[in-house]
Chains A and B, each alone.
Chain A
Amino acid sequence: MKRDTTALSSAEKISFSPEMKSQFEEIVQQFPDGKEKSALIRILHIVQTEFGWLSPSAMNSVADYLKIEAIEVYEVATFYTMFHVNPVGTHVFEVCRTGPCMLLGSDHIISYIEDKLKIKVGETTTDGAFTLKTAECLGACGYAPVLQCKYKFHEHLTKEKVDILIDAYRKGIVEN
């Protein structure tokens, strides 16, 4: 995906809340002195949970916090598939489509969600509620087909289950 790099370097810094900073601090302390960079991935998870995605501002601010170069954050954020470096909807459905899930119909689940939400894979609904993505093996093959939303797994998917799930997320009654 092409990015406008000027937007990266000129992005405004943001300040993290005291609660977030204390979480960061706890993680950094888990590693020996001088090895603080090891905290990066977990900190990015926290930042993404808070803001929904990793904006250039957020990434630059993480770099400042860990006293590393911004590029060190970008290269990690863009390497790992769980991180969203573009804005996404409130709920991101990541549907597994690898072998074992495919054998049990993940393709049908994906196209059913596309039809129901009137979006294609990679898109976000106009109300900003849902983004649909596909994922490669989520490690839940025995419970296929599977999707993940935030850190929650939804397993043994059927069309009926998808209906219930979308409804529940719309109403905000799914615990994460």
Chain B
Amino acid sequence: MNNRKLLLENIDIQGIESFDIYRKNGGYRSVEKALKKMSPEEIVEEVKISGLRGRGGAGFPTGMKWSFLAKPEGVPRYLVCNADESEPGTFKDRYLMEKLPHLLIEGMITSSYALGANLSFIYIRGEFMYILHILEKAIAEAKANGFLGKNILGSGYDLELRVVPGGGAYICGEETALLESLEGKRGNPRIKPPFPAVKGLWGCPTVVNNVESIAAVVPIVNDGGAAYAQIGIGKSTGTKLISACGNLARPGVYEIEMGMTVEEFIYGDDYCRGIANGKKLKACIPGGSSVPILPHFLVCKTAAGEDRLMSYESLSDGGFASGSMLGSGGFIVFDEDQCIVRNTYNFARFYAHESCGQCSPCREGTGWMEKVLHRLENGHGNMRDIDLLEEINKKIEGNTICPLGDAAAWPVAAAIRHFRAEFEWHVTHPEEAQKRNFGLIQQVVTA
């Protein structure tokens, strides 16, 4: 299929990280167009028309999020870019920021203008300190060329842009935890409402958007929301950056047009080129570690036997019974040698480690799941443990301030749903399970 690139088109141009080369290749046109020819309201409208959905994982329509921003008189408004990329399996924002820093800066300027923000922030995970320096250099270049600071391009619009690092905490990718961290505190998520659009950074109306969402505003403003909406399929408009990793022949970041088949993405020559070392596909987590795992027979086809597509709708086709989610686009592939119990334990440990600890169901529940799964993985579990996991799950899900609890519960539930036989085998064959892997499961037809 004809795959258009809207974000990474120029990524291979030598020197594209510098202002001059970026500008020569059409960079900053959206800022010129926005500031000289469009009102902030017109930009919000174009973003609405584009159908762009938040690229951080939740998939909430960006234009709608923008339109919720409260605009009380005399109160500053803020745009905060979420560059805390921490979802296991996801590394697209890092790639974009490292190679195309000016694309993010351009998107930030255009978006800040649309939202009426005069001071905007990029919150980046502390581990990416070297990218913070890349971004600060790009900001200095943009400022030296009149695209930031006072009276940008003679429009009367002022904007300053700052990059702020975190210190290593998955939870800071949750928007209210991010704002707490940006205020110099522990990353404990806030109770919503009030939503950040009403009370966000320092109590002021704030929009928090993912790096890729902000970058997508550039082609939307350049070519119009309608043109963007024509790309993709149904309500999954535009392109999506997919971070492909795990046992793939060619892992990496790919920009795909929404609607490509999962099969082409995994096996296509232009994409991942199949499973590494000629192995077979066992399972796939298509949207970052928080989304449900799919067994091999539900990866390329839906339960109804239709082609599974790379889109919000198709990946979630079948709900939690036989579907998953596009999430952040963190596409993790498992070959036939991988152990699902071990992987489930690994992610449970991750969530137990990353729980901020303020809600008991999550703080305690993630720890219990980690312990129970450790037991199962190491051959000390019993059948009751498998049910116990499901019980703990139900007690975490929906009972916490932020979605980390759900994110910890869903993958465990999905692993048991699709791979119960493998969990049971760990109980019935504790010694064998230490020496070899269970292998592939066969497709079971469920009514």
Chain A residues proximal to chain B, CB less than 8 Å? 30-32, 35, 37-42, 44-45, 72, 75-76, 79-83, 97-100, 102-104, 135-144, 148, 151-152
Q: Which residue of B lies closest to A80 (CB)?
A: B167
* With A42-B164, A79-B167, A148-B127 as contacts: A139 and B90 at CB distance below 8 Å: yes
Would B243 and A80 count as touching, CB distance under 8 A?
no
- 1/0 per residue B238-269: CB within 8 Å of A? 00000111110001110000000000000000
Give the contacting residue for A75; candidates B164, B186, B244; CB below 8 A.
Answer: B186
Would B343 and A102 count as touching, CB distance under 8 A?
yes
| Residues of B close to A83: CB separation below 8 A | 167-168
The contact sample of 30 A-B pairs, CB cut-off 8 A, is A35-B202, A38-B182, A40-B184, A41-B164, A45-B167, A75-B185, A76-B184, A76-B186, A79-B186, A80-B167, A80-B169, A81-B169, A82-B126, A83-B168, A99-B89, A99-B332, A99-B346, A100-B88, A100-B245, A100-B332, A103-B334, A104-B246, A104-B247, A137-B87, A138-B127, A139-B85, A139-B127, A142-B245, A142-B251, A144-B245
Give the contacting residue for A137; candidates B88, B162, B251, B342; CB below 8 A.
Answer: B88
Q: Which residue of A lies closest to B127 (CB)?
A: A138
- Give Cα A76 to B169, complex, Å: 11
| Residues of A close to B162: CB separation below 8 A | 30-31
| Residues of B close to A30: CB separation below 8 A | 162, 164
Q: Which residue of A lies closest to B338 (CB)?
A: A103
Q: Which residue of A lies closest to B330 (CB)?
A: A141
- 1/0 per residue B318-360: CB within 8 Å of A? 0000000000001010100010001100110010011010000
Interface centre among B94, B332, B346 (most CB of A within 10 A): B346
Interface pairs A-B: 7 shortest CB-CB: A80-B167, A82-B168, A37-B184, A40-B184, A81-B168, A141-B245, A151-B129
Q: Which residue of B lies closest to A83 (CB)?
A: B167
B81 to nearest A CB, angstroms? 15
* With A99-B346, A102-B343, A141-B332 as contacts: A38 and B184 at CB distance below 8 Å: yes
| Residues of B close to A97: CB separation below 8 A | 346
- Give Cα A142 to B90, complex, Å: 8
Q: Number of contact residues on B: which range applies?
A: 35 or more
- Give Cα A135 to B252, complex, Å: 21
Q: Which residue of B lies closest to A137 (CB)?
A: B88
| Residues of A close to B86: CB separation below 8 A | 137, 139
Would A41 and B166 count as touching, CB distance under 8 A?
yes
Within 8 A of A (CB), among B200-218: 202
Within 8 A of A (CB), among B58-99: 76, 85-91, 94
Q: Which residue of A lies closest to B202 (CB)?
A: A35
Chain B at the A interface: SS class: mixed
- Give Cα A138 to B246, complex, Å: 14
| Residues of B close to A100: CB separation below 8 A | 88-89, 245-246, 332
* With A140-B91, A141-B88 as contacts: A80 and B126 at CB distance below 8 Å: yes
Would B167 and A44 count as touching, CB distance under 8 A?
yes
| Interface residue B181 (Cβ < 8 Å from any Cβ of A) | yes
| Interface residue B228 (Cβ < 8 Å from any Cβ of A) | no
| Interface residue B30 (Cβ < 8 Å from any Cβ of A) | no
Q: Which residue of A lies closest to B87 (CB)?
A: A137
B353 to nearest A CB, angstroms? 5
Q: Which residue of B lies closest to A32 (CB)?
A: B119
* With A35-B183, A45-B167, A99-B89 as contacts: A139 and B126 at CB distance below 8 Å: no
| Residues of B close to A135: CB separation below 8 A | 168
* With A100-B88, A148-B127 as contacts: A140 and B165 at CB distance below 8 Å: no
| Residues of B close to A82: CB separation below 8 A | 126-127, 167-168
Q: Which residue of B lies closest to A100 (CB)?
A: B245
Would B332 and A152 count as touching, CB distance under 8 A?
no
Would A45 and B129 count as touching, CB distance under 8 A?
yes
Give the contacting residue for B94; candidates A31, A39, A104, A139; CB below 8 A.
Answer: A139
Would B126 and A45 count as touching, CB distance under 8 A?
yes
